[in-house]
Amino acid sequence: MSIPMTQLGSRAFHHEENPDVEREYDHLRDMARAEAQKRGDCFERSKRAYEDGDGARAKELSNQGKAHGAKVDEYNRQASEYIFRENNAPGRVDADSIDLHGQFVEEAERILEQRIRADQARGQTHLHAIVGKGNHSANHLQKLKPKVEELCRELGLSYSTEDNAGRIYINLQGGEPIPPQHGGYGGGNQDQGYQPHHGQQQGGQHRPPQQQHHQQQQQQQQEDDYDEGLLPLLLRKLEKACCTVM
């Protein structure tokens, strides 16, 4: 399935102003778009050649289109990994947070699901997903937030959405989604105003809400080796698990 070439916001780098980072990111996405245009042109010409009875030419053009499609995949993979690495560098987000700015929807879904499963396997209790408020998106429409919430429901995870819709707290081990007391950006103050949601099991069955009045404390410290261990692991997984566009 092809990843829609939709820019999610005017700024992919979600920290201090850094024209070099934005320039490199934009360059990679622009290269992907250029290859996508060439791919579409080849396929259109292939279709016309086939209709004209020139099967050999149609096949040649189709193969050229597929080659351009492979380059679309590669440039988008590079852009996704580059901006993920920049936005999630040590010191830019807390160890229990993940910044999805600059990702296409399908990319963000894949990255987040891998992170959720990795954190669950490590016994982590929660994850703080930074999705943005949609201020820079076309028509101010949020695209990452609904996908993150949908993924949580599919995985049966309870989550809380911040009132300004910029951050989502995900409970990884069951129970009520209690937001952390930091902001996810290297230890900033946490704004209050999260709205809790209970996830759904696959197939649409609602998870029974937890009835405990004494909520478990979910401020467990992350392993000290997070920065040195999980982030490189995720990047290696991304290289191996990058989806094929064609």
In a domain, 11, yes or no: no
Where a domain ends, among 57, 87, 117?
Answer: 87
The contacts of residue 177 (CB under 8 Å, 6+ apart) are 126, 158, 159, 160, 169, 170, 171, 194, 196, 197
pLDDT at 185 over 60: no
Where a domain ends, among 52, 69, 87?
Answer: 87
pLDDT of residue 220: 38
Q: Stretch 20-37: mean pLDDT, rounded? A: 95
- What is the pTM for the complete model shown? 0.67
Distance, in Å, from the CA atom of 61 to the CA atom of 196, rounded to the nearest integer, reads 52
In a domain, 104, yes or no: yes
Q: Backbone phi, then psi, for 6, in 5-degree steps?
A: -110, 125
Are 44 and 131 part of one and the same domain? no
| pLDDT single digits (tens) 206-245 | 333 333 333 333 333 333 333 444 444 444 444 444 433 3
Give me the residue label for tokens 């040195």.
228
Distance, in Å, from the CA atom of 39 to the CA atom of 79, rounded to the nearest integer, reads 19
CA neighbor of 178 nearest in space, from 212, 205, 213, 216: 216
Number of domains in the chain: 2
The answer to which of 79-83, 140-144, 148-152 has the lowest mean pLDDT is: 140-144
Q: Are 191 and 162 in contact (CB under 8 A)?
A: yes
Give me the residue label for tokens 């201020």.
135
Q: Are 195 and 161 in contact (CB under 8 A)?
A: yes
Q: For residues 61-89, b (16+ Cβ closer than 10 Å) or e, as one string? A: bbebbeebbebbbbbbbbbbbbbbebbbe
